Chain A
Amino acid sequence: MAVSKTTLKSLFGVYGVIHRQPLLLPSTLRYSVILSTRSIHERDYRRPGQPPDTRWPWQKIQFDFSKGVEGVKKHIGLLKDEFVQRWTGPEGRPLIVHMLEQTRVQWEFRGPESLNQWVVSSDQEIGGRSEAYIKLGKNNTSCLLYGTLCSTPPRDGETRYSGYCTLRSKQSLASFDRKKHFDWSSFNTLHMRIRGDGRPWMVNVSTETFFSHQKDDIYSYFLYTRGGPYWQDVKIPFSKFFLSSRGRIQDSQHVVWLDKVKSIGFTLGDKADGPFQLEIDFIGLCNDLAHSEEFAYELYKRNPEI
């Protein structure tokens, strides 16, 4: 590059890393094509009120050889499993098991490694004061999501509302970090065993959204918990889930397709400050043969042409 190292260093030295620097490409000076760190960094999430992270990508590298070797071993092991399980049948189980399957427990919390499949977050990411944590419950038989909600909005000049927390399952990955989806098409009901504290939660199911370019599309339904010492069996048919995008319920609704489910999540945002607790024993699916509803909401076209 014609732009010398000393020029670069002086630029960075004078203005510092925090400010964004336009970097002119030498061969196209006439057309003044600007390559700046802004276009690279503002693809990631920027917490409101914070300056953007303007490091170049090569400054963010953290290289570790042993971790690389472990990663290769893990991925090749997963790939070998994928090839070998094809001999047995779809998803590694014989077809007769798939045909006879009426219920399935998808997530159950029986050991510390089960918590690794979940991500808990709250409005601390945007500067709020809620707290949310997960830990295993008594005897390692359940997952306890607990914390405190605080609906004071953070003082960054941008955010107006706050006070939420969410627990979401991570997308399962096949070998070499390829996305893996759940095929729940044999089932029509979500069955959970939970013990809450009376707060109203939302259950969110999200499907594959990469190709539809609607990455905020989520299918939600309410989960009213009854406080108290008794466990609650919640069965929500998938026909009841409605479509929302970034929290706003969409006008044109459709039923959730269950053949490419990405993750499930629970959200609490009921504007009530104070502690909360949700204990989950298992999350499973079942095929309720008595439930014949296809979709609970109207599918008519709004604003039809006359």
Chain B
Amino acid sequence: MNPYVLAILLSSLGLGTTLTFASSHWLLAWMGLEINTLAIAPLMAQHHHPRAVEATTKYFLTQATAAAMILFASTTNAWMTGEWSISNLSNPLASTMFVAALALKIGLAPVHFWMPEVLQGLDLLTGLILSTWQKLAPFALIIQTAHNVDPLLLTLLGVTSTLVGGWGGLNQTQLRKILAYSSIAHMGWMIIVIQYSPQLTLLALGMYIIMTSATFLTLKMSLTTKINTLATTWSKNPVLASTTALVLLSLGGLPPLTGFMPKWMILQELTKQNLPIIATTMALAALISLYFYLRLCYAMTLTVSPNTTNSTTPWRTQTTQTSLPLALFITATLGLLPMTPAILMLTT
């Protein structure tokens, strides 16, 4: 892409999220969300491939619908209560509609259907931006308004998302779709605790961003997008194959890896709030997601697939991609659990 156009688009992406972070008026927040949507649309469609066009179309339609619903909710609230401030979304109709719009924006079940198709049509770097950066602005808004929203709705969204994220990812063979369902499940974990402890939502979001970035960058480094090609990465980069197995287990939430931290804290908070059934349901739903992460580990490291590459030692050749961000994210994904108290201090 033309470097000037790329610079404008990336800076618009940054501007949109920052604008939403910095805003206390609904219109400015909505504007930030729209800037994000518009800035990422050319990045998604840059390859002019029909599947990329399909992904862009679906993404744009869903995000525009969600943005329109947000605008409608905020104007309804302003009409009913005279308040344009984000934290004063007190009208119940407005707050419910806003949560529905946010669910559509970040891909919570039951409005998650766009997520796998959209991620499947994108290249890995744009998919990474979509899964991580594009979630920040909506979460900034929902954290500020969660106390006004019906608690049952948030709980339902959370539990449904974890279950759907688990069931949906079970029979996928395309890695981007698996990561989409993983994203849906993680969003469910974040939403379930938002009404009790928004700091844990931020913690879960931060950890999710680190783990997903590690996964996407790994797939980009080994240029794999399906399970069959993932099975050959052991010959290309054996160290990466072994660390990726651990990254996937971290996504699944197993101790002693970083992914355990948000799940542990969230389950603890839910138990403290006397919600043992919801906590148990969430834990069991996480097991379903763990199954398909383990399946990826099985395909990649625990078996030697017959779909081998022609050469026996491709790991001797060096890759030209920059590996520093990948190394940083993998280290963070594997080693942050002992620092839980320090991280909790950061988010409270």
Contact = CB atoms under 8 A, between A and B. Distances in A.
A207 B303 CA distance: 33
Chain A interface size, as a band, is 20 to 34
Pick the most buried of A98, A102, A183: most chain B CB atoms within 10 A of its CB: A98
Pick the most buried of A183, A186, A252: most chain B CB atoms within 10 A of its CB: A186
Interface string A200-234: 00000001110111100100000000000000000
A154 B202 CA distance: 69
A259 B175 CA distance: 12
Given A90-B171, A98-B173, A183-B173, A257 B48 contact: no
B172 interface: yes
Interface stretch (B67-75, B226-234, B268-276, B317-325): B226-234
B48 A186 contact: no
Contacts of B226: 185-186
A259 B120 contact: yes
A257 B173 contact: no
B57 A211 contact: yes
A90 B173 contact: yes
B25 interface: no
B173 A211 contact: no
Contact of A259 (B47, B174, B299): B174
Pick the most buried of B57, B170, B172, B228: most chain A CB atoms within 10 A of its CB: B228
Given A86-B171, A90-B173, A186-B226, A217 B231 contact: no
A213 B45 CA distance: 14
A99 interface: yes
A254 interface: yes
Chain B interface size, as a band, is 20 to 34
B50 A214 contact: yes
Contact of A99 (B54, B58, B171, B299): B299
Given A86-B171, A90-B173, A211-B58, A99 B50 contact: no
A289 B47 CA distance: 27
Interface string A88-99: 011100010011
A99 B228 contact: yes
A89 B54 CA distance: 27
A89 B169 CA distance: 11
Interface string B165-195: 0000011111000000000000000000000
Contacts of A257: 49-51
A259 to B, nearest CB: 6
Contact of B51 (A95, A99, A260, A292): A260
Interface stretch (B88-96, B104-112, B249-257, B304-312): B304-312
Contacts of B231: 99
A80 B332 CA distance: 44
Nearest to B120: A259
A254 B48 contact: yes
Nearest to B47: A254
B310 A290 contact: yes
Contacts of A183: 173-174
B307 A212 contact: no
21 contacts: A86-B170, A90-B171, A91-B171, A95-B227, A95-B299, A99-B299, A99-B307, A100-B305, A183-B173, A183-B174, A186-B173, A186-B226, A207-B50, A211-B53, A212-B51, A252-B48, A254-B47, A259-B51, A289-B310, A290-B310, A292-B310
